[in-house]
Amino acid sequence: MTETAWITSRIKRDQIDKYLDHGKDFVDDGKIWEKINSAAKPSTAQVRSILQRSLAIQTLTPEELALLIRVQDPELLREMQEAALAIKKKVYDNRIVTFAPLYMGNYCVNNCAYCGFRHDNREAKRRVLSMEEIRRETENLAGKIGHKRIIAVYGEHPLTGIDYILESMRTIYEVRVPTQNGYGNIRRINVNAAPMSVEELTRLKDGGLGTYQVFQETYHHETYEKLHPKGTVKADYSWRLYAMHRALESGIDDVGIGVLFGLYDWRFEVMALLYHAIELETKMGIGPHTVSFPRMEPALNAPYTANSPYHVSDENFKKIMLLIRLAIPYTGMIIT
C-alpha cells in the first residue's frame, strides 16, 4: 500500500460519529473558558471542602477545579499539596514506577508544527529499528539496566503500522537476558502510538499490550487546527479525541491521556483533561489509568517550540501536577 493510500484509509467515521452528541464532541471551548473566568476567588472553607472530595478519591467537577486553579494563597496551596501527597500514598502507597522509552522510528505522515519528526522536516535523518536492533536494545534495558517495563513509541507511518507494532512487541517479550539473579526480561509493554481503529486495537490488546497512550496534544480546537495542517491524518481532531473510546470498546482497559503543555493556555488544558476523564467515566464506565503532562521543549527545525506564547514556567508546571492529582485522584501520573 502506498503512503497516500495508507493515509486515506486511516480514519473510520462510523467509529467517531456514534460517540458525538448531536454531531458535537465533548470539548466545548467556550464553556471551559466560561467556567475558568467565572470562578471567584475561593474561600478557605470552599477549598477544604473540595479537598475532602479529592481525599475520598472522587473525581472533581469542572466548577471545583476552576476554583482550585484560582488559588494563590501560600497557606491554601500548602494544604492542597499535603492533600495531593496523601492521595498519592492512599492510592499508590509510597511507590514510584519507572519505565524506559524505546523509540521505534521517526518516520511520520503528519506535519505538526512543534515536532522534529514532522513529515516536511528535511533536516531529520529517518530510520526504523529492525527486529534485531529492537532485540539488542531490549537486552540492554532488561539486562544491564534492569528495566521491567517499556514504553514503545511509534510514529504514524505505514512503516510502523499495526503489523510492525505487533512484531516488535513479540520481539521484546521474547528477550531473556541472564543476570546474577536469574534472568532479565520486559514484563509489560506500554504503547504510545497514533489513534487506531477498533479492529487494530483489538489486535493490539491480544498482542500483550499494557497501557495504550494517545495524547490530544492540545484540546483547544482553534490551536489544534493551526498546529496540525489539513490533509494529514492528525488534522482530524475528533479521530484523535475518541481514540480512548475505541480502545475501551476493543477491550483494552488501561488507557492513558495527556497534553503537551506549552501549545495553549495550561488552565484550559487542565480543565479539558478533566472533561476527558469525566467523559470516559460516563460513556465507557472507566476513566484514564494514567495522565501524562509533557512540557514542550525545543525540537529540530520546529520554530513553534521557541515562539509559542504559552510556555509553562516551573512554578505553573508544579501547579499543573498538583491540580491533576486533586482533580482525577485515582489516576497514575506520568512525567517524562
Q: pLDDT digits over 72-106, tens only?
A: 999 999 999 999 999 999 999 998 998 999 999 99
Q: Is the pLDDT of residue 3 over 90?
A: no
**Burial readout 180-190 (b: 16 or more C-beta within 10 A, e: otherwise):** eeeebbbebbb
**Could you tell me the pLDDT band of residue 179, with boundaries at 50, 70 and 90?**
confident
How far apart CA 37 and CA 29 sit, in angstroms, is 12
How far apart CA 131 and CA 39 sit, in angstroms, is 53
Q: Rounded to the nearest 5 degrees, what angle is found at the Cα of 93, between the Cα atoms of 88 and 95?
A: 95
Which contacts of 143-146 are long-range, i.e. CB under 8 A and separated by 24 or more positions?
Answer: 143/177, 143/178, 143/179, 143/184, 145/100, 146/179, 146/184
Give me the mean pLDDT over the 111-136 stretch: 95
**Could you tell me the pLDDT band of residue 263, with boundaries at 50, 70 and 90?**
very high
CB-CB contact of 272 with 223 (8 Å):
no
Output the pLDDT for position 4.
Answer: 87
How far apart CA 289 and CA 331 sit, in angstroms, is 5
Q: Is the pLDDT of residue 323 over 90?
A: yes
pLDDT-above-90 percentage for the chain: 92
Q: Is the pLDDT of residue 1 over 80?
A: no
**Could you tell me the pLDDT band of residue 2, with boundaries at 50, 70 and 90?**
confident
| The three three-digit cell numbers of residue 190, written as one number | 506500554
102 forms beta bridges with 152
More confidently predicted of 234 and 7: 234
Rg of the Cα atoms in the chain: 20
Whole-structure pTM value: 0.96
Output the pLDDT for position 192.
Answer: 97
Edge-to-edge order in the sheet of strand 149-153: 100-103, 149-153, 188-192, 209-213, 255-258, 290-292, 332-334
Give me the mean pLDDT over the 242-268 stretch: 97
How far apart CA 243 and CA 201 sit, in angstroms, is 10
Output the pLDDT for position 181.
Answer: 81
Output the pLDDT for position 303.
Answer: 87
Output the pLDDT for position 60.
Answer: 98
Tell me the helix, strand and coil percentages in the chain, rounded to 5: 50, 15, 40
Mean pLDDT of the chain: 96
Give me the mean pLDDT over the 44-67 stretch: 98
Residues 6+ apart with CB under 8 A from 42: 50, 67, 68, 70, 71
Which DSSP state fits 211? E
**Could you tell me the pLDDT band of residue 43, with boundaries at 50, 70 and 90?**
very high
Output the pLDDT for position 317.
Answer: 97
